[in-house]
Structure 1
Amino acid sequence: MIRNGKASVAIALVCTVAGAGLVGCEEASSADSKPSASATTDGAGADDKGSFTGTEKIKVDGRSVNVSCSGDQAKGKPVVVLLHGGGDGLDKLAGLQKTLGEKDRACSYDRLGAGASDQPDGPQTLESGGKVLTAVIDRVAGDAPVVLAGHSLGGLIAARYAPDHQDKVKGLVLMDATSPTQSADLEKEIPESATGMAVELREQTLAVLRGESPEKLVVPDGEVRSAGDIPVEVIQHGKQYLAAVPQYGAGLERAWAKGQEKWLAVSGGSRLSTAENSEHYIYVDEPDLAVGAIRRVASQAAGTA
């Protein structure tokens, strides 16, 4: 966001920490406790899959991945796997995970280059990042199905992953997910001739999408592919804070809204709603709304709605 007297503008586009005072990830409440248990295992070889609570390190292709779980697995219900935004980590999701864990099994993980996980060896792709997510799901869910709930860049990752893993992913919740055409949206709405806040936002966000961030994750634009008719809730922000970007803000808000509509194509069972009192961090601004959506999708995925 941009501070110092100007309107706060989070780079919801990817949600990442950038230079020149631009910060896309706001500080969430730290009042919620994090799980205290800790262990290190080889996720691929664990024979007690889905059983641990607290935090644990698993090995994926020789890299250490930090994973956290809350709550017990109920027979017939999916495990909720939370995916953080760019520049964040699983600690940001601790409060949401704790609440979800009161009724369901909920887990999260730090992607390579984030939080307490190892740094990536080199540039990451959505495919290589998907292998890490598969290993996490295998560890925390075992044979149970999963619902993926992602925020910002985590939402994009979840929606890109689901079509190739329809045997496992039975529901999605996309909380202000990064647009599937984010680079093109930015280049259209903010021309190279722009100056000041707008050009900084444009260039730094495009750099992140090219992999110039701690995660080194390259995120190309692409068509939305179908994951079948699984239940999907797409939730967009209602407080139009991007409109505060001088000259180009209104266009950014329109492009963002269109991006949320594009994600509806991921399933024949998609539903779009607006968190009227939220900026980018919907699960922080309106936690009850986020929890309700995730529980609703989990119930539908279990066939109990």
Structure 2
Amino acid sequence: MSERWAAGHWKGLAAGAAGVLVAGAAAGVARRRVVIGRRGAGDAVPLGSLRSEPRTVVADDGTPLHVEVDEADPGTRNPLTVVFVHGFALTLDCWHFQRAAYRGLVRTVFYDQRSHGRSGRSPEGGTTIEQLGRDLRRVVEAVAPDGPVVVVGHSMGGMTVVALAEQHPELFGTTVVGAGLVSTTAGGLDPHRMLLPFLPSALGGDLARRFVAVLARGHRAVDGVRRLGRDVALVVTDVFAFGDDVPQSYVSFVDEMLASTPFEVLAEFFPSFTTLDKFDALGALGRVPVTVVCGTEDKMTSIGHSRELHRRIPGSTLVECEGAGHMVVLERHEQVDAALDQLLAAATERARR
């Protein structure tokens, strides 16, 4: 365990304790005790093993989206539905620790983004951040049309949340009562960063775009090479997904999700990152409690992006996880969950007004 991790861990715990003291209410303390009791729940079950009855939500262009809903335990008074949106080349399984921590305590929704995991492949032209925002809208309409909803997005999932805010600002403050933006940005991204685990490090900018286009035409051969070079891929995943030393199981877990995403899909989404510019849409997010989380050693969407989101979203909270990388939802899951606890408490209070 590194000193950087320990410092960030205790800082997160101190922030959580301060939030409880400020809240002060007996109900808040009781809820917090239940949350504390669920810590470590994700370690008790194999990574990616949590499941619920699958549903299919059909996107506006006909793409079937794989959705799973974990209902709250009977008698639970929390009115929220929390929708978790995963990132590029991952699946809903990346939320393993958050799913375990909140299971039974609050109604939670997880889905595979189009062309990822168990969802259907997108038709041509549908692999855009704008379309992902429309997909999120369809999921919200299907699982919690009247709210109150908290949307939490990691990486490309955070961009999806911002796209929803751009397309439907009227939802924020009505149906949507809170948002979590984890290891993400609203623009200004070096798109080469999004393919760092898949491309030679010397490539960048226009050269990377041309290289991706060439590889996409021979995507089956590329996938074959990726499978043959699994040892190399595992090392690259460790370097680019994490900041500190993490259990080998975490690295293998992420690597399996990356490897299961066809290179053709990666290439199809790549142009969306080059044109992303949605900072003007952030005003709608300022109507609700927002928590921005990022690792200080994130090599994909660097900490500067999260600081800019925090600066542009009035009243938002910024949580910096010292020494953590892009997969902060795994690497610092306790700190991330503590930040989400505070977000859900604030969103619950807003929903009950």
Match of residue 301 from structure 1: 347
User: TM (normalized to structure 1)?
Assistant: 0.68
Give 1:232's match in structure 2, choosing from 283, 287, 290.
290
Shift of 1:119: 0.4
Aligned to 1:198, what secondary structure does the other structure show?
A: coil
Match of residue 170 from structure 1: 177
Distance 1:283 1:205 in 2: 29
Distance 1:281 1:201 in 2: 24
Distance 2:95 2:212 in 1: 22
The residue correspondences of 1:87-102 to structure 2 (distance < 5 A) are 87-102=89-104
Q: Which moved more, 1:285-294 or 1:120-129?
A: 120-129
The residue correspondences of 1:14-29 to structure 2 (distance < 5 A) are none
Distance 2:264 2:176 in 1: 28
Query: Structure 1 regions of 5+ residues with no counterpart?
Result: 1-27, 38-54, 187-194, 243-251
Match of residue 59 from structure 2: 60
Q: Which has the higher strand share?
A: 1
The one-letter amino acid paired with 1:141 is A
The verdict on how the C-alpha distance between 1:90 and 1:214 changes in structure 2, with shifts beyond 3 A counting, is same
Per-residue CA deviations over 1:120-156 (Å, capped at 9, x if unaligned) read 1112233322221111111222322211111111112
Shift of 1:116: 0.5
Give 1:82's match in structure 2, choosing from 77, 81, 84.
84
Aligned to 1:136, what secondary structure does the other structure show?
A: helix
Q: Which has the larger radius of gyration?
A: 2
Distance 2:98 2:141 in 1: 22
* 2:274 aligned with 1:222: no
Match of residue 320 from structure 2: 274
Shift of 1:179: 5.3
Q: Is the 8 A contact 2:85 2:152 kept in 1?
A: yes
* 2:198 aligned with 1:147: no
The verdict on how the C-alpha distance between 1:204 and 1:149 changes in structure 2, with shifts beyond 3 A counting, is farther
The verdict on how the C-alpha distance between 1:279 and 1:232 changes in structure 2, with shifts beyond 3 A counting, is same
* 2:34 aligned with 1:31: no
Q: Percent identity?
A: 21
Higher relative contact order (CA 8 A, sep 6+): 2
Q: Which has the higher helix share?
A: 2
Distance 2:211 2:112 in 1: 21
Per-residue CA deviations over 1:6-49 (Å, capped at 9, x if unaligned) read xxxxxxxxxxxxxxxxxxxxxx9943522142xxxxxxxxxxxx
Distance 1:79 1:290 in 2: 18
User: TM (normalized to structure 2)?
Assistant: 0.59
Distance 2:211 2:165 in 1: 26
Q: Is the 8 A contact 1:234 1:263 kept in 2?
A: yes
Give 1:131's match in structure 2, choosing from 131, 134, 142.
134
* 2:316 aligned with 1:261: no
Aligned to 1:197, what secondary structure does the other structure show?
A: coil
Shift of 1:113: 0.5
Q: Is the 8 A contact 2:163 2:278 kept in 1?
A: no
Q: Is the 8 A contact 2:192 2:208 kept in 1?
A: no
The verdict on how the C-alpha distance between 1:292 and 1:298 changes in structure 2, with shifts beyond 3 A counting, is same
Q: Is the 8 A contact 2:52 2:70 kept in 1?
A: no
Distance 2:107 2:48 in 1: 17
Distance 2:86 2:159 in 1: 10
Distance 2:99 2:207 in 1: 33
Match of residue 289 from structure 1: 335
Distance 1:121 1:277 in 2: 39
The residue correspondences of 1:155-234 to structure 2 (distance < 5 A) are 155-163=158-166, 164=168, 165-166=171-172, 167-178=174-185, 180-183=187-190, 197-199=201-203, 204=208, 214=265, 216-217=268-269, 218-219=272-273, 220-224=275-279, 225=281, 226-227=283-284, 228-234=286-292
Shift of 1:86: 0.2
The verdict on how the C-alpha distance between 1:196 and 1:118 changes in structure 2, with shifts beyond 3 A counting, is closer
Q: Is the 8 A contact 1:184 1:221 kept in 2?
A: no
The one-letter amino acid paired with 1:168 is T
Aligned to 2:291, what secondary structure does the other structure show?
A: strand
Query: Structure 2 regions of 5+ residues with no counterpart?
Result: 1-42, 194-198, 217-262
Distance 2:302 2:211 in 1: 19
Aligned to 1:233, what secondary structure does the other structure show?
A: strand
The verdict on how the C-alpha distance between 1:265 and 1:301 changes in structure 2, with shifts beyond 3 A counting, is same
The verdict on how the C-alpha distance between 1:229 and 1:86 changes in structure 2, with shifts beyond 3 A counting, is same
